[in-house]
Structures are given as structure tokens and as C-alpha cells.
Amino acid sequence: MKIICVGRNYVAHAAELGNEVPDSPMLFMKPHSAILTANKPLYYPDFTNDLNYEAELVLKICKNGRSIQPEFADSYYQEIGFGIDFTARDLQQRCKEKGHPWEIAKAWDNSAGLSKEFIDKSTLPNLESIHFAMSLNGKVVQQGDSALMIYSFNDIICYTSRFFKLQVGDYIYTGTPAGVGPVKKGDILIGSIEGRQMLTCEIK
């Protein structure tokens, strides 16, 4: 199982971090050991002073495939979940400045918050425009709409599978909208899709 993540997939989020919009999907990965699920708390890592949340829609891959063509892409996922791409923003900034890979900022243990439940895509009101939100201590801090993604789910599946064989059980984190920010010990994050609560995570 692997976790593939897309960076800078919403214009407003790229802008808030002062990044250019990429001309192809910007991919990175997290290992299996990054998964934090079942509403488990996240223990604030000792290597960062700027732990950030990023709310993302997550595709669960249900079929093996490589070099997937656009007309077949949507058959490679059936369920959508809610994820938090936890990021050590201070480490990421240092990696970016040096042109280094950023696994230590993004792929550490428990950095991939993931809802236990997934939603069958056939039950969503509009697959082209999925609304999701994150609240921090009861206040909404991120509101996303998949219609605003630069690269659609299908674009991501086609592009990704040119490089990496997609396998049943893989997850794709599809990028975060604007509103990312820091958390501190004691904070509670709650993620929802179409108003349905999907994930709770306490920072300990």
C-alpha cells in the first residue's frame, strides 16, 4: 500500500504559501507507516515547531492499473474519504530553500490522518463538486470544493499511473484548499464531507 499526495492542487492554497501553480500534478508520497486512522490522536512531533493541518479528499484505489487512460480513470476508485496531510511547515520551508526532498516534513509517522469510513461515490450529490470542510476547535478553517481543483481526480489518476502502478488499497490525497494553518497541543480537528462528520483528531 502506498499513499500518493498531490501538492498545490488549489489555486488559492498555492497562493497563500507563495507558490506557483504547477504545470503538471506535483506528486509526493507517504509510506504505510504514516497512516493515522480511527480518530486516534496525533502526538505533536518533537522535530517541528510549526505543525500544520491540510484537509484533503482521499481516493481509495480499487483496481490495479498502470498508464490508465482518461476514459477509464473513474473506474479505479469507488470510495472517497477525508484525510489530513499533516506537515512540519518549518522543515518543509528549509527543504524547499535547499532544494531537498521533503519527506522529513511530510512523510513521517502518523502524518497521514485518514477517516475510518469512506463514502461510496455513487451516494454523493455531485461527484464534480464535492464540498468538504475542516474545523479547528469548533471554528471552520478550511472549506473545499473539488470543482476548484486544478487537476481533477481523473487527471491525477492518469498522470500518477504513468509513473507508479496503482494497486488496490492505495490512497491518493488530492490536495488542500486555502486555510491551512498551525495546531498546538489540545487542539481538536474535525473533518467533514458534504456536512457529514468523517474524522476527529486531537493534537496531544
| Residue ranges that bind Zn ion, judged by CB under 5 A | 54, 85, 176
Alpha-carbon gap, residue 150 to 11, rounded angstroms: 7
Q: How far is the CB of 106 from Zn ion (least distance, A)?
A: 8
The 3 state secondary structure assigned to 81-134 is EEEEECEEHHHHHHHHHHCCCCHHHHCCCCCEEECCCCEEHHHCCCCCCCEEEE
Tell me the Cα Rg of the chain.
16
Alpha-carbon gap, residue 55 to 35, rounded angstroms: 14
Q: How far is the CB of 156 from Zn ion (least distance, A)?
A: 13
The alpha-helical segments, DSSP class H, found in the chain are 11-16, 89-98, 103-106, 153-163
60 and 79 Cβ atoms separated by less than 8 Å: yes
Q: How far is the CB of 87 from Zn ion (least distance, A)?
A: 7
Q: How far is the CB of 19 from Zn ion (least distance, A)?
A: 12
Q: How far is the CB of 143 from Zn ion (least distance, A)?
A: 16
For Zn ion, the closer CB: 24 or 123: 24
For Zn ion, the closer CB: 54 or 170: 54
For Zn ion, the closer CB: 54 or 65: 54
For Zn ion, the closer CB: 85 or 170: 85
Closest-approach residue to Zn ion (CB): 85
